[in-house]
Amino acid sequence: MNAYLDISTEVLEALQAGKPVVALESTIISHGMPYPQNVETALNVERIIRENGAVPATIAIIKGRLKAGLTPDEIEYLGKKGYDVAKASRRDLPVLIARGDDGATTVATTMIIAAMAGIRVFATGGIGGVHRGAEVTMDISADLEELAMTPVLVVCAGAKSILDLGLTLEYLETKGVPVIGYQTEELPAFYTRKSGFNVDYRLDTPEEIAAAFRAKLGMDLKGGMLVTNPIPEAYSMDPEVISKAIDDAVAEANRKGIRGKQTTPFLLAKIKDITGGDSLASNIQLVYNNARLAAQIAKGL
Ligand code: PSU
Ligand code: MN
């Protein structure tokens, strides 16, 4: 086993017994939601995965160790520390580990650690992608490169239109990452079920999704697969309200010259402020919805 990695007993036993395991990220806890809703959500997500017959493996970096499977105390610790935990993408790992620091794992880093541990399915809210204006800024999330190279299936609710969704799909196409719509032809846009863009394939059952990913793994094609699961109708937001909030947030980020790894957390926090907590409630529900689907896919694998 990897000398930098600690797998919790529960996760290790599940993996050894061939039981389904679902990875979960920690940037969503530290940077994606305020305390204490972040901790409450993270613990609920773990419960939902268990209720659906799989074992949750929340992933983070704690005191210089890569962790697959956290204790509730460790989740509380990361949630309380919030923005004081370093947001850790692929490029951040070497220095954080060498220094013995903590790190909240993004989609990219969660995929890396999941793959090291032998976990194949991962549930989250939204992924990073090609930002609006990337033709000038070159701001493209490392999440997309990771999807291109690391064999983990990621269940998300699509991507927020803080990103350029059209360019994000083009990038994924170039990199050979299949974009699957669960029971939909249309790419969901996180807070809303529609985006105006089509996914590559619509698949209607967790078993069909598992079969496609099994084929990808079996052929040893490198990289993962992106499963987009629309937010439940009851929690989806008014497209005009959310689109105005996002436009305002992006404009403010540009005005303030926000760059690099700060961009996504800044935009997420702004949107939350502007929509006054409505977006947080939707965000929480779509994560639960993704956890359910991911557990079912993991069982099918
Ligand atoms: N998008 C969201 N919610 C999130 C993130 C993105 O709607 O919580 C987080 C995820 O951890 C994702 C990361 O992997 O931000 C992407 O950051 P960047 O754009 O800097 O690569
Ligand atoms: Mn970026």
Whole-number Å distance, alpha carbon 84 to ligand 2 midpoint, is: 19
Check whether residue 80 and residue 155 sit in a common domain. no
Overall number of domains in the chain: 2
Domain end point (choices 119, 151, 183): 119
Closest of 230, 301, 290 to residue 48, by C-alpha: 290
Check whether residue 109 and residue 128 sit in a common domain. no
CATH of residue 67's domain is 3.40.1790.10
Closest of 57, 204, 30 to residue 121, by C-alpha: 57
Check whether residue 266 and residue 289 sit in a common domain. yes
Closest of 19, 43, 20, 39 to residue 29, by C-alpha: 39
Check whether residue 51 and residue 138 sit in a common domain. no
Check whether residue 103 and residue 244 sit in a common domain. no
Q: Are 275 and 245 in contact (CB under 8 A)?
A: yes
User: How high is the pLDDT of residue 81?
Assistant: 97
Catalytic (active site) residue 160: yes
Q: Which two tokens stand for residue 9?
A: 């007993």
Q: Are 101 and 83 in contact (CB under 8 A)?
A: no
Q: What is the tens place of the pLDDT at every residue in 63-86? A: 999 999 999 999 999 999 999 999
Whole-number Å distance, alpha carbon 292 to ligand 2 midpoint, is: 29
Check whether residue 60 and residue 96 sit in a common domain. yes
Check whether residue 110 and residue 137 sit in a common domain. no
State if residue 158 touches ligand 1 by the CB under 6 angstroms criterion: no
User: How high is the pLDDT of residue 166?
Assistant: 98
Residue-number span of the structural domain to which 74 is assigned: 1-119
Index of the ligand 1 atom closest to the CA of residue 109: 14
Check whether residue 112 and residue 131 sit in a common domain. no
Separation between Cα atoms, residue 290 and residue 272, nearest integer Å: 20
Q: Distance between terminal CA atoms of the chain?
A: 23
Q: Which two tokens stand for residue 106?
A: 């993004």
Q: Are 39 and 85 in contact (CB under 8 A)?
A: no
State if residue 109 touches ligand 1 by the CB under 6 angstroms criterion: no
Check whether residue 128 and residue 76 sit in a common domain. no
Domain end point (choices 79, 94, 119): 119
**3-state secondary structure string, the chain?**
CCCCEEECHHHHHHHHCCCCEEEECCHHHHCCCCCCHHHHHHHHHHHHHHHCCCEEEEEEEECCEEEECCCHHHHHHHHHHHHHCEEECHHHHHHHHHHCCCEEECHHHHHHHHHHHCCCEEECCCCCCEECCHHHHCCECHHHHHHHHCCCEEEECECCCCECHHHHHHHHHHCCCCEEEECCCECCECCECCCCCECCEEECCHHHHHHHHHHHHHCCCCCCEEEECCCCHHHCCCHHHHHHHHHHHHHHHHHHCCCHHHHHHHHHHHHHHHHCCHHHHHHHHHHHHHHHHHHHHHHHC
Whole-number Å distance, alpha carbon 54 to ligand 2 midpoint, is: 32
Q: What is the tens place of the pLDDT at every residue in 2-59? A: 899 999 999 999 999 999 999 999 999 999 999 999 999 999 999 999 999 999 999 9
State if residue 268 touches ligand 1 by the CB under 6 angstroms criterion: yes
Residue 197 burial by Cβ neighbours in a 10 Å radius (0-12, 13-18, 19+): middle
User: How high is the pLDDT of residue 276?
Assistant: 85
State if residue 167 touches ligand 1 by the CB under 6 angstroms criterion: no
Question: Taking the complete model, does pTM exceed 0.75, yes or no?
Answer: yes
Domain end point (choices 70, 87, 119): 119
Q: List residues, by chain if needed, whose CB lies under 5 Å from ion ligand 2.
A: 139
Index of the ligand 1 atom closest to the CA of residue 108: 14
Mean pLDDT per block of 10 residues along the chain (301 residues) reads 94 98 98 95 98 98 98 98 97 98 98 98 98 96 98 97 97 98 98 97 98 98 98 96 96 96 94 90 97 98 94
State if residue 20 touches ligand 1 by the CB under 6 angstroms criterion: no
Check whether residue 145 and residue 223 sit in a common domain. yes
Whole-number Å distance, alpha carbon 109 to ligand 2 midpoint, is: 14
Check whether residue 114 and residue 129 sit in a common domain. no
Q: Which two tokens stand for residue 74?
A: 């460790």
Check whether residue 3 and residue 45 sit in a common domain. yes
